[in-house]
Chains A and B, each alone.
Chain A
Amino acid sequence: MLDIDGVCKTFNAGTVNEKTALRDLSLHIGEGEFVTVIGGNGAGKSTLLNAVAGVWAVDRGTIAIGGEDVTRLPEHRRARYIGRVFQDPMMGTAATMQIEENMALAMRRGRRRTLRPGICRAERETYREMLRILDLGLENRLTAKVGLLSGGQRQALTLLMATLQRPKLLLLDEHTAALDPRTAAKVLDATERIVGRDRLTTLMITHNMRDAIAHGSRLIMLYDGRVVVDVSGEEKRRLTVPQLLELFGRASGSDEADDTLLLS
């Protein structure tokens, strides 16, 4: 479903701040795979997701979604294939717009925006049903401004919006990192349910190794802009945190794994 081949990205090339974030990275993800992504700060996790989402153009390499080469498509054109949830809960929703308006915008992702009404009556019932799944009481607040919601509620809403129309690819960029532990667990639980229900092909970044092991069908670890660990199936199911650390140490050729990987 997602084919990344030989992708390179360097920021601020030719300046003192030059930073190579992705080095000839290749990754192939099959339909329905749920991949968790871990790695230290600056390993290239967010850069990888942003490259797929098309936030900027990559320097080299190709990215294909569902067999279609999207390397040259701008961000808003790729959005028809991709659902995204960001680390910052403020980033995924429009605060000054109502809950139902936000959902209506997401419902029309990938379609031409015409002069038809931005939201119609029949949609509202659908949205109410969908919000019920989140179990946050939002189903009775359809016309509330999103700015009035808590970070966790906004993140849950963003997740719902990302999956309103079954995306070919779901990108989750540490989407629970900014939430308190209880809310984070709730959002993660909703993620698990929605991804399982729709069998979504998913890439989820997390800084929590336990979460990375507990969720998903495959785990990859990035180091210095490359995939250094890639485990799936039975091997992943039996993985433990110490084993993961050891894998990381071997791959990166260092024993300072504890420092570079933010553990919890």
Chain B
Amino acid sequence: MAGFISALPGAVSQGLIWGIMAIGVYITYKILDIADLTVDGSFCTGGAVFVVLFGAGAGLWLAMPAALLAGMLAGLATGLLHTACGIPAILAGILTQLGLWSVNLSIMGMKANVAINVIDPASLDRLLVSLRFVQGAVRGDESLWRHPIVTVGLFTAAIIAVLYWFFGTELGASLRATGANPDMARAQGISTGRGKVLGLMLSNGLAALSGALLSQYQAFADASMGRGAIVVGLAAVIIGRVLFSSVFRNFALKLLGVSAGAVIYHVVIQAVVSLSGIDTNYLKLISAATVAVFLAAPFWRERFFARGAGKGGRAHA
């Protein structure tokens, strides 16, 4: 129990970091109605780009936007495979993700793992987040403002603010229409192909930013760091909806719910690990099974409980 409590701040920090990727998944999965598997690759692309640039002496202001841009390029690739080549979205994402494996390795100089120097205080100080800040803040030799929960929390708030603004603009509204009803969107002069590409770029840009933050946090980028990212993202989206959909109706709050979903996911996983002592290699199986159950829930509810549930018309949300 004590182990779990002491691991809690770390789990919350990681949850917030993954939450940014989950917000990206929300954009494709809920707004555009596309299951985009590119994020498994672009998450690592962000980490790889950041670590390499940072290692070469670049500051946050260069390395973070570069990671964002690299992720957007990955989204562009999937978007073009889907819209310009007519490949089903899910397959387009798988193709990009597979290709990114090589791209990510080549970014990292054909090494599966590249570390950030956090021993050198000057280097550590240039980072936005680090696991060391969690420990530092607890010990008191680091200001609380540098605690990852605070920095990533503020970062997330800024991203939510930008997205809230964007989806309220003409362009953002056309993206929402593209996902909600492509026939209607085209009839109203919206290029649904362009909307999908833009949404995929946005989503993978966020995944890459999230990867860049995680690589800082754990002080390394790893070729397999994005494996299963889509499942974590879906889990966060689903947890966010299940727990908060009745209170969070505003778009910004829904995004906040997704971020909170990612935090809860990580806290639960941490609890399972600390309290049951299970081999962490089983975590992916547990995650997959949990997400499968949540995805199946609406279908089961319809199938087994709908018949006896009275004759009143069910409202479709």
Q: For chain B, give the interface size range.
A: 20 to 34
- Interface check B120, CB cutoff 8 A: no
- Interface check A9, CB cutoff 8 A: no
Q: Which residue of A lies closest to B195 (CB)?
A: A113
**Are B316 and A77 in contact (CB-based, < 8 A)?**
no
**Are B169 and A95 in contact (CB-based, < 8 A)?**
no
User: Which residues of A (105-141) have their CB < 8 Å from a CB of B?
Assistant: 105-106, 108-111, 113-119
Complexed CA–CA distance, A115 and B86 (Å): 28
- Interface check B177, CB cutoff 8 A: yes
- Interface check A40, CB cutoff 8 A: no
Complexed CA–CA distance, A108 and B166 (Å): 17
- Interface check B302, CB cutoff 8 A: no
A79-87, A179-187, A189-197, A214-222: which lies at the B interface?
A79-87
**Are A114 and B169 in contact (CB-based, < 8 A)?**
yes
- Interface check B315, CB cutoff 8 A: yes
B145-153, B179-187, B230-238, B284-292: which lies at the A interface?
B179-187
User: Which residues of B (169-183) have their CB < 8 Å from a CB of A?
Assistant: 169-174, 176-177, 180-181, 183
**Are A114 and B171 in contact (CB-based, < 8 A)?**
yes
- Interface check B102, CB cutoff 8 A: no
**Are B169 and A53 in contact (CB-based, < 8 A)?**
no
Residues of A within 8 A of B174 (CB): 105, 113
Q: Which residue of B lies closest to A79 (CB)?
A: B189
Quick one: CB contact mask for B157-174 with A, threshold 8 Å, 1 for yes? 000000000101111111
Complexed CA–CA distance, A237 and B2 (Å): 89
What are some 19 contacts across the A-B interface (CB < 8 A)?
A: A77-B189, A79-B188, A94-B184, A97-B176, A101-B173, A105-B173, A105-B188, A109-B188, A111-B189, A113-B171, A114-B170, A115-B169, A116-B169, A117-B170, A118-B170, A118-B173, A119-B173, A148-B315, A162-B187
7 extra interface residue pairs, beta carbon distance < 8 Å, beyond A79-B190, A92-B183, A108-B170: A76-B191, A84-B187, A110-B189, A114-B170, A115-B166, A116-B170, A161-B188
